[in-house]
Amino acid sequence: KTAMQIVEIMKVMEARHPVVMATRVSAEKSAEIQAALPQATYFEMARICAIQPSVPLAIRPGKLSILTAGTADLPVAEEAAVTAELCGFQVTRLWDVGVAGIHRLLSNRHVVDQSDVLIVAAGMEGALPSVVAGLADCPVVAVPTSVGYGASFNGLAPLLTMLNSCATGIG
């Protein structure tokens, strides 16, 4: 969509909904959107342009945590985190805790134990969601990312790993 198409859509939706989001928005497009809609906020890492209510939404119950295997997974994870926050959820972020540095995940086991839902983003071989699901007693949303080198095949390898996981509770 063009910036002006997004502006028109956001104007219509703003009259009907307390939160309006446009995802996968470049910084350049967000500048055009914000020129037309000064009330819009741009979340650069998440690539989300949003209109938020003047009064914050009520905090939703439950503990939502979002984890990444590596720093290259941050844009995808931030998109999920900002979306959840805009919808009223409190989010705990745990970045760069992949299997290559499993000690970082294990030293933050309390985050996994205290969560009601975990969203786990991973590229490369996509092993982190299986590891987390093996530790957790709550649902784990596995999110493959298209980052990595070698044989990650633009996200296909992590997707297949996540689909083939033997850990319970992964979606």
pLDDT of amino acid 150: 66
pLDDT of amino acid 158: 77
Average pLDDT score, the chain: 91
Asked if pLDDT for residue 161 goes beyond 90, the answer is no
Confidence of residue 165 (pLDDT cuts 50, 70, 90): confident
Residues 76, 119: contact at Cβ < 8 Å? no
Which amino acid is present at 32?
E
- pLDDT tens for each residue of 78-120: 999 999 999 999 999 999 999 888 999 999 999 999 999 999 9
Non-local CB neighbours of 38 within 8 Å, separated by 6+ positions = none
For the chain, what are the domain ranges? Answer: 3-51, 64-164
Q: What backbone torsions phi and psi does residue 5 show, to the nearest 5 degrees?
A: -65, -40
Asked if pLDDT for residue 169 goes beyond 80, the answer is no
- pLDDT tens for each residue of 39-63: 999 999 999 999 998 888 889 999 9
CA proximity to 67, closest of 88, 44, 91: 91
What whole-number percentage of the chain has pLDDT above 90? 71
Non-local CB neighbours of 91 within 8 Å, separated by 6+ positions = 64, 65, 66, 81, 84, 85
CA proximity to 76, closest of 41, 24, 116, 21: 24
> What's the CATH architecture for 64-164?
3-Layer(aba) Sandwich (3.40)
